[in-house]
Structure 1
Amino acid sequence: MGSILNKPQQWWQKIKGFFKRIGNFFTYDVNPEKQELATEQPPKPGKDASWYQRFIFYFNVTIGSIKTLLLIVISAAIIFFSLVVGVGLGYFASLANQEDVPSYQSMKNQIEDSNESAAFYFAHNDKLGNLTTDLIRTPVKSNEISPYLKKAIVATEDEYFYQHHGVVPKAISRAMISDITGVGTQTGGSTLTQQLVKMKILSSETTFKRKAIEILLAVRLDNYFTKSQILTDYLNAATFGRNNKGQNVGGVEQAALGYFGKHAKDLTLAESAFIAGLPQSPSVYTPYTQSGSLKKDVSAGLDRKNTVLFRMYRHNDITKAQYNAAKKVDLVSEFQAKATPEKENRGYGYVYNLVTVEARDILIDQLIKDDGKNVTKVRNSKEDYNTYWNQADQLLRQKGYRVYSTLDRNIYDKMQTAAKQYAPYLGQSRTSTVTDPVTQQPTNFTEYVQNGTVLLDNQTGSVLGFVGGRDFNKFQLNHAFDTKRSPGSSIKPMLVYGPAVDNKLINTQSQIADFPVSFSGYFPTDFGQQVQNRFISASEALAESYNIPAVNIYNALGKGKATKTYMEKMGIRLSNKEYSELGLALGGTKDGLTVLQQASAFSTFSNGGEHVTPHVIQKITDPSGKVLYKAPETKKKVFSKATTYIMQQMLSGVVQQGTASSLNNGQIPFSTKNIIGKTGTSNDYRDIWFIGSTPGITMASWIGYDNFYGHNYNLDESASDSNLTYWANILASVYRTDPSIFKLSQKMTKPDDVKEANVLASTGTLPGSVDYEGSAARVNSGAKVKAYYNDSDAKAVSYKFGIGGSDKNYRLFWQNYFGQSNDYAVTSTYTGKTVRSKSAEVEDRYYYSNGSYGTYGSFGTGTYSGYSQGNYSGNTTTRSTTGNGTAANNNQLYNQYGTNQYNPSNYGGSTTYNTYGTTGTGTTGNTRTTTNGY
């Protein structure tokens, strides 16, 4: 101890040296001779060195290494940060260069527009109204707002409002760092000017691009307008929670009325502070619930009010005495009592819902594309899709967009009137006692025969009008756009005959077999389980909608191999499994098709073989008139001109002498020779269709029951004629409104590559010879008819001249042709056992219901769908089944595609229900029904 005290100078020098070395950690000391860092380490001590010398040596080495490494890291960070900042500023500058500079008037229109919800228009700039919303707003002028409220907002939301020029530089830096590092996705700190830009011009998303544009627009806004104007517009635009009627409040005037029953100019200091605190989190600080009742705990809003008061005091807006007095005010006693909002009654419910859904979908896709993401992938992600759904919905409700539809008000009104007049004749209503799924109480529920109709412009794809259902006040489900039903035989022209003509497989007089036939256990029959037992021309088979010929043609086409491309070009997408099943030729789809899809696909035959994507929204603009979206003119060549012409000849036969010939009884105000069409009926008259087209327009109509609550109602045998009369009445009403859209004078001229030939009606070929019973027999007798060919020549007769048919069938034909009496062409009824397709992988089953057994017969192809809620429940009758499809469940449940809870008295908005079978787990099977009609 003494030796240490005797050498204080030596220890002091060592301590100084130690701290000096520590200080070198942060400094460079360069040796001018070696140009090396002064932290060069001394020679390593020898074996005789003391522990202190060794400690100092290793300490210096460690510190020197750390210092060098840290200096390298700091240097790299500085370089990287400079690079990032440079790139960020460059990107910011590029955005500034790309972004259109808005004019003063444009920005003025947007920030001062009080109708923030989207405005909807019919065609021809005919305003329908604004998007329905519970947000109420009453704009006021600056002198109609309490000075206390203005000061409270500035002190709370933007204390440097009167000093900055639209933005605060540190906020810009924070936004850039947040976007680069991913730390703090909520950038916060936006000025009132930026918030106004976000509310009135941009979306609230916080991507760097939108943040950069927001900054640019905020600076420009501050340059165009005074602080008083900006503050007033902000106070008119901001949301302030819910009022005593449960309505969302926009603007300070409605906030003052809804909370305190007074105008904004009359608000006291305490009341102003309370309202000024709401924009930060309106749902948390508002004192009212969605029903308008006062919350049990309103302390959050009151605490927020005190925070606002303190900031006003700190900002020198109020004195300490005012601050203390305002804190003591009992605002709870001033809150308004619960009240009932006034109900808004207006028509066009189907139109409002449709335009809202269509516009929102358009904006969703645009937002996704703007962010450089794949639309399909985002739509398949529930979380991502919901994010964009909310953004698009916010744009529609807050940005004052103008949405222009293609719907013609006059045409739409006439269609509703005609549909309403004839609706009682579509079929009988069915009333039953059911258990309400919400209240669990028994209630009477009436099912009506529903109808869905779509009127399209063939050349543009514009939807001119539609009928969504019987009564929007009772059933909001849009049967024209949102429900998918079995298309029945109405699918045949698009799926079977069109592709067959285009591939030169058939001509108008090609003979198709209609005999009993089994395709690996699948037995199709014609309507009513009949079999014609003869060869039938393609034209007659289509006109009379015989099923067996359609299946034979589809089989000859190779099923989906030659048809899928055609269908997809016409906007219809089906699975490979559906294409692989022959029953698809008769409408045996898994989910079915919408009326819009049917009308759009069929319109191809009246539009020269080109398909135009259908649309309801023509364009969307912002309040200044800037076009944000315009419907693209998307046309796809589906069929050749020759195919289209030939199909028009064949489809004309459906109306002139086929299944739609009842239209010739004077219901149409012009010659039916101007109409081509196709009927369709699914099994047991469950779905009835007619699609008719003139050169200018196409109109498709469907009727049937929704079959909610497990009902199994079908239409009667006269339903097809009823639907044709219904269709004709609507068409006549539209024609009287605007005959020009029908373009009756525009008739397709025969293309040069359509060839004609007079052929034998019996064989569809030219006369010739065949080998009959061992000798050549001349075939030239019988009637001759004109046949149209797609760029091919008529062929001479051969023994097997048709499509389909067995050796037995051809022998029966030739025996009859050469004079033998037999059963050729004698219509029979198929009475054999209906055998399911092997692909069904289920056996016919018996199940118990109401004390007796009933056979649940299987249908041609598809999966078995006979269960409900996990048990074998159903009716007690034997199901006679033919054709194709899956057995429709006798105890069906609704299928909800939306997120809203099903309510029998209010199927809201765009929620889609489907009325096909249910599976054993109790969920909707949504399976196909057999198509067995015309």
Structure 2
Amino acid sequence: MAERPRSKSASKQKKKKRMSGRTWFYGLFFTAAIAIVCGIIGYLLIILNGERILTENGSKLNFGEASIIYDANEQEIARIKIGTDNREIAEYSEIPEQLLNAIVATEDQRFYEHAGIDFFAIGRAVVKDVIARSAVEGGSTITQQLAKNVFLNADKTFFRKATEASIAVALEHQMSKPEILTMYLNRIYFGKGVSGVKAASKYYFDTELEDLELWQIATLAAMPKAPNRYNPIIDPESSMNRRAVVLNLMQEQDYITATEAEEAKAVVYERPDSHEDGQSENFQEFIDYVVEEAMEITKLSEEELRVGGFKIYTTLNQQAQQAMDEQFANNENFEKSKDEQIVQGAMVIIDHRDGTIKAMAGGRDYINKGLTHNRVQVKRQPGSAFKPIIVYGPALETGEMSASTILKNDKKCFGNYCPTDKWGPAPVSMTQAIKDSRNLAAVWTLNEIGLKRAFAFAGKLGFELDNEDRNLSAALGGLTHGTTPMELAAAFSVIANGGKSVDPHSIVRMEGKNYTYTYQAPASKQLMSAQTAYYLTDMMQTVVQKGGTGTRAAIDRPVAGKTGTTQHGIPDYNGPGIKDAWFVGYTPEWTAAVWMGYDKTDKDHILKSGSSQSAAMFAKVMKAAMKNVPKSSFNKPQELIEEEPPATITNFNAIFIEEEMKVQLSWNPIQDGEVTYQVFRKEASETEFIRFVDSLTSTGVDDMSAFPGLTYEYYVVAYDAGNDLESSPSPTIKVAIPETEIIPDIPMEPDPTVPDGGDVTTPIDEGGEEASPEPGDGTEQPGGTEEPGAGNGTGEPSPAPIETEGSENGNDAFENTDTGGNTQGAGG
């Protein structure tokens, strides 16, 4: 059969395919050749550029230009350049082999294999960054880090990275690996003004370099990534965690055994007895906070930031900071400890109108013994200071309750949770519950509004609470991990700011070479209604008034706030004592949070008094700090309708009825509106009236507790619960109770001189004396108040400590057991 002739189109297609394959072959060949040539030329240029820079700079170590920090008035307060004063040069022979191994394992695992640039590590970092959609891993080698820190500024640009690579390659050509490692270890910044591994060994461990133990080596190797964050003095916990990472890496790379790793992980760092801090800078905790914030803003390391020549303008108010430093340096403001472990404290001040941080005290160590860790950012149990956040704020926000809502205060169990406090079972208004810091009322209220709404409200204010916290003990501050003074100050700032969001910050702007930053506040959000914020403020003002738990926080301007204390929760110890003592409060201008307690609580290191000293610290600092701040008042939202208070009580009478030994009180009813009545009483020798009877609906009451021979004064007030308004006091009436002779009922026996049936008898002598009752002798007076006293509580929290509450000093200790959640009491 004859073959069919091929069509022209088929021939063209075949020819086209053959030509396309050839074209691809030659194209790939020449592309590869050009790439190789370009690569060689580029590599030569990189080497030549690096060699040129090394030639121009010689072996000189360039520490860069100091970054400068300014206060709110743009006055210089610190230069944070890494200095050379606290540096000792170590020879390669002095450096322990395991220290070299630790640095390589942590910073550059392929150090001995690459020639300055690790393309494998760069590729791995790119892949991880792509997967994470952000920069999560760097690809810099030890040589590149050395090149950057010695010869370059901190500007993160493409050209800088290219120059860094060229210097790294040049360094590898001119120096051996041991020389590079030695220079690197002599160059590393270890925080606290210490540079170089030799000085760091002596500073942190009081040990010669060659005598370092494995756990000490791992601690030092952990620090280059973040000298402050992983510093054993500043943050022992983070340092220990990072040390474990270093040891794991060393084990994985067969430098140490698993047993050696576990033993080194277990050692707890203790500062050497001979240690003395060399810091001479003022405002050190604020400076450290600024550096951390600047690192977040610029995404630079601390070392890059310090040598970058930045000008950092901050929010520091020197008058406020100096006032705070002065009070924290005064030992009289803190309880005296049995030994060298002193009572610690922390405080932060925020201007809630713009979020600027005015001052900060991270602990007493900053002044006396140098920097430890900033306790402003350390979590502690908040106790009753958390009630406005988790109970009363959410309750008001529902619109179903108000400041005058009557809350149940009777002792009861909620499942297995049985909170207690010292107060009686009578119902109480929300305002009075906050003023007295009552526990039962708070738990009842949280149960009424529901955990879901309460936790959503707290979440808006920045509290990320665990699922374990979702139980009623949260009403008394029983949290799994607690909260920090900074978090509480920020949350109370929202209340003080009319419910609008506040963004605490310490940096206003930064200027550097090819870099500028200006703070821009995030869009304001209404996190709670203006009415809720106003009523919380109005109620918390009673806390610092007479009879409130925080009276010592009062100063010469309006103040609202809340106290908080927590029980010690020490296992197998049932004695008295308090773990945490708080006062968080605000004026119309500034908010401040104060915490006091021991870093480590045990039976020998617990507070005896409650929140009174924290409240006093608030007053002492704020009064001096705000000396030049113009005074203002808390603003009432325009949408709140002004209601007229009830009319003053008329026809008030008080008379003593001798036959019944009582004072009978009566008055005319208020005709307009729904009101209740409050009766106030004081004995003539007393200086203050007490609320004798509360929530009366009748227009009269009897005082059955008046004692003979004493004089009492009374007045009555009408209270409009719906609008939380009260009338002016009625006229005061004075009633004198006459002396009364009490004739004892003594058994009699017949007189033998009198005939049977006579009525003359002789008293039986029982060997005792008749005693007339004294005022207050075994008699409870209604409406009486307790004087503040020392906390006295027991109980072990699970998982959070129990809290004490109910007076200025937390004198009503108690114990609760909640098998389904935290064991918790509330603290004044």
TM-score bucket of the superposed structures, by smaller chain: 0.5 to 0.7
CA–CA distance in structure 1, aligned partners of residues 209 and 559 of structure 2: 63
> Match for residue 650 of structure 1?
539
Q: 3-state DSSP class of the match of 2:539?
A: helix
The equivalent residue for 1:426 is 334
Please tell me whether the aligned partners of residues 437 and 826 of structure 2 are also in contact (alpha carbons under 8 angstroms): no
Once the two structures are overlaid, the 10-residue window that deviates more, 393-402 or 499-508, is 393-402
Alignment equivalent of 2:719, drawn from 766, 781, 785: 785
Distance change (3 Å), C-alpha of 1:135 and 1:80: farther
Q: Amino acid of the residue matched to residue 575 of structure 1?
A: D
Q: Deviations over 1:195-235 (max 9, x none)?
A: 799822534xxxxxx5368569999xxxxxxxxxxx9xxxx
**How big is the shift at 1:603?**
1.5
User: What is the RMSD computed on CA atoms of the aligned residues?
Assistant: 5.8
Kept in 2: contact 1:547–1:586 (CA 8 A): yes
Are the structure 2 counterparts of residues 540 and 128 from structure 1 closer, same or farther at C-alpha, using a change threshold of 3 Å?
same
Which residue does 2:495 correspond to in 1?
605
Is 1:392 the counterpart of 2:332 in the alignment? no
Query: Cα–Cα, structure 1 residues 745 and 865, in superposed 2: closer, same or farther, change >3 Å?
Result: closer
Q: Secondary structure at the match of 2:638?
A: coil
Q: Does 1:457 align with 2:351?
A: yes
Q: How much has 1:512 moved relative to structure 2?
A: 0.5
Would you say the 8 A contact 2:801–2:824 is kept in 1?
A: no
CA 1:506–1:397: 2 relative to 1, 3 Å: same
Q: Which amino acid aligns with 1:248?
A: R
1:74 to 1:690, Cα distance in 2 relative to 1, 3 A: same
Amino acid at match of 2:337: S
Pick the aligned partner of 1:577 from 454, 468, 472: 468
Q: Return the offset for 1:727.
A: 1.9
Match of 2:638 among 741, 746, 751: 751
Counterpart contact for 1:401–1:622, Cα < 8 Å: yes
Question: 1:68-91: per-residue Cα shift (whole Å, max 9, x none)?
Answer: 997586478589999x99xxxxxx
1:839-865 residue CA offsets vs partner (Å, 9 max, x unmatched): xxxxxxxxxxxxxxxx99555xx4499
**Shift of the alpha carbon at 1:613?**
1.6
Question: Counterpart in 2 of 1:525?
Answer: 420
Report the identity percentage.
22
Aligned partner letter, 2:449:
L
Which of residues 478, 481, 485 is equivalent to 1:591? Answer: 481
- 2:284 paired with 1:349: yes
Q: 1:633 to 1:601 in 2, by over 3 A?
A: same
User: Which of 1 and 2 has greater Rg?
Assistant: 1
2:584 corresponds to: 691
Question: Structure 1's 634 and 515: CA in aligned 2 closer, same or farther, altered over 3 A?
Answer: same
1:636, distance to aligned residue in structure 2 (A): 2.4
Using the TM superposition, give the Cα deviation of residue 474 of structure 1 relative to its aligned residue in structure 2, in angstroms. Answer: 2.7
Say if 2:576 is the partner of 1:679.
no
Q: Return closer, same or farther for 1:74/1:754 CA change in 2, 3 Å cut-off.
A: farther
Q: Spell out the pairing of 1:756-905 with structure 2 (5 A cutoff).
A: 756=643, 767=674, 781=699, 784-787=718-721, 857=795, 859=797, 862-863=798-799, 882-883=815-816
Residues 756 and 623 from structure 1, CA distance in 2 versus in 1: closer, same or farther, beyond 3 angstroms? Answer: same
Paired residues of 1:134 and 1:247 also in contact (CA < 8 A): no
Is contact 1:496–1:550 with CA below 8 Å preserved after alignment? yes
Question: 8 Å contact 2:386–2:477 — kept in the other structure?
Answer: yes
Aligned partner of 1:476 in structure 2 is 371
Structure 1: how far apart are the matches of 2:467 and 2:603?
Answer: 31
* TM-score normalised by length of structure 2: 0.54
Residue type of the alignment partner of 1:784: A
Pair 1:401 & 2:354 matched: no
Partner of 2:78: 129
Higher helix share: 1
SS in 2 for 1:563: helix
2-side partners of 1:857 and 1:196: how far apart? 54
Whether the aligned pair in 2 keeps the contact of 1:680 and 1:688 (CA below 8 Å) is: yes
- The amino acid of 2:450's aligned partner reads G
Counterpart secondary structure, 1:476 = coil
Distance 1:200 1:703, change over 3 A: same
Q: 1:254-310 deviations in whole A, cap 9, x for unaligned?
A: xxxx9xxxxxxxxxxxxxxxxxxxxxxx99xxxx999999999xxxxxxxxxxxxxx
- Note if contact 1:759-1:767 (Cα within 8 Å) is conserved in structure 2: no
| Residue aligning to 2:737 | none
Question: Which residue of structure 1 lines up, in the alignment, with residue 548 of structure 2?
Answer: 659
Could you say if the C-alpha distance between residues 211 and 884 of structure 1 is closer, same or farther in structure 2, counting changes exceeding 3 Å? farther
* Aligned-partner SS, 2:396: helix
Partner of 2:158: 211
Q: Which runs of 5 or more structure 1 residues have no equivalent in the other structure?
A: 1-30, 41-66, 86-111, 139-170, 204-209, 220-230, 232-238, 251-257, 259-281, 297-340, 368-390, 432-445, 770-777, 791-822, 830-854, 867-878, 888-926
Residue equivalent to 2:386: 491
For structure 2, the residue ranges without an aligned partner over 5 or more in a row are 1-7, 37-60, 88-115, 129-137, 172-178, 190-194, 212-275, 568-576, 650-668, 677-695, 701-716, 725-779, 787-792, 803-811
| Other structure's SS at 1:430 match | coil
Structure 1 residue 349: deviation in Å? 2.9
- How far, CA to CA, are the matches of 2:10 and 2:284 in structure 1? 89
Residue 501 of structure 1 deviates from its aligned partner by: 1.1
In structure 2, the residue corresponding to 1:501 is in which secondary structure?
helix
Residue 451 (structure 1) shift? 1.2
Q: Which amino acid aligns with 2:388?
A: P
Question: In the alignment, residue 492 of structure 2 is paired with which amino acid?
Answer: F
The answer as to 2:479 corresponding to 1:545 is no
Deviations 1:641-698 (A, max 9, x none): 222222222111112234345338xx73x24xx1111111112422111122111101
- In structure 2, the partner of 1:721 is 612
Show the 5 A alignment for 1:607-646.
607-623=497-513, 626-628=515-517, 630-646=519-535
SS in 2 for 1:603: helix
Alignment partners' CA distance in 2, 1:481 and 1:356: 15
Structure 2 letter corresponding to 1:568: G
Give secondary structure in 2 for the equivalent of 1:123. Answer: coil
Give 1:814's aligned residue: none
> How far apart are the structure 2 equivalents of 1:788 and 1:569?
28
- Assess, with a 3 A threshold, how the Cα gap between structure 1 residues 824 and 241 changes in structure 2: closer, same or farther: same
Work out the CA distance in 2 between the residues paired with 1:785 and 1:241. 79
Which deviates more, 353-362 or 194-203?
A: 194-203
Residues 396-455 of structure 1, C-alpha deviations (whole Å, 9 max, x = no match): 13322233221122321121112323x334211121xxxxxxxxxxxxxx1111111111
SS of 2:463's equivalent in the other structure is coil
Q: Distance in 2 between matches of 1:242 and 1:660?
A: 60
Deviations 1:584-613 (A, max 9, x none): 011101111111111111122221111202
Asked whether the equivalents of residues 459 and 607 of structure 1 are also in contact (C-alpha less than 8 Å), the reply is yes
Q: 2:623 — aligned with what?
A: 732
- The 1:72/1:692 distance shift into structure 2, 3 A limit, reads same
- Alpha-carbon spacing, 1:357–1:758, altered in 2? closer, same or farther (3 Å): same
Structure 2 equivalent of residue 507 of structure 1:
402
